[in-house]
Amino acid sequence: MNTPDYLPILFLLVLSTLFAVGSMLAASKLSPRRWTSAKLQSYESGMVPEKDVAGDRFPVKFYLVAMLFIIFDIETAFLYPWAVAYDELGLFGLAEMGVFIAILLAAYAYVWKRGGLEWVE
């Protein structure tokens, strides 16, 4: 009787899940728990914090720049599979990637023109 093709994948999934759960259980049971006031303070590159930042809010601009970075970073990750399969895709793949990059550059130009990449207003 033949084993199903998905059996190695299922085995790897079960094994990785058991390893992750086992590692978290071992860390929770074996790790030292000696809390000191120094360990409970916020860490800022070895410097004493100047003020309590719990009540301060980050400006929305910070989140906008962070989201734009993530979006454009993920979009450029699509270039790698295309580069690997470039020989098989031929002229059609080149045209499709040209359209993809044109849309990406249009979005980048729009964000740049609107001032989405500026840190200060």
In this prediction, residue 120 carries a pLDDT of 67
Residue 34 falls in which region: left (phi positive, over 0), alpha (psi -120 to 50) or beta:
beta
Predicted confidence band of residue 33 (pLDDT cuts 50, 70, 90): confident
**57 pairs with which residues across the strands?**
none
Between these two residues, 15 and 78, which has the higher pLDDT value?
15
Q: Give the per-residue pLDDT at 106.
A: 92
22 falls in which pLDDT band (50, 70, 90)?
very high
Q: Cα dihedral sign for 87, 89, 92, 96?
A: negative
Which residue shows structure tokens 């044109």?
102
pLDDT in tens, 85-106: 888 888 998 899 899 889 988 9
Backbone phi and psi for residue 96, each to the nearest 5 degrees, phi listed first: -65, -40
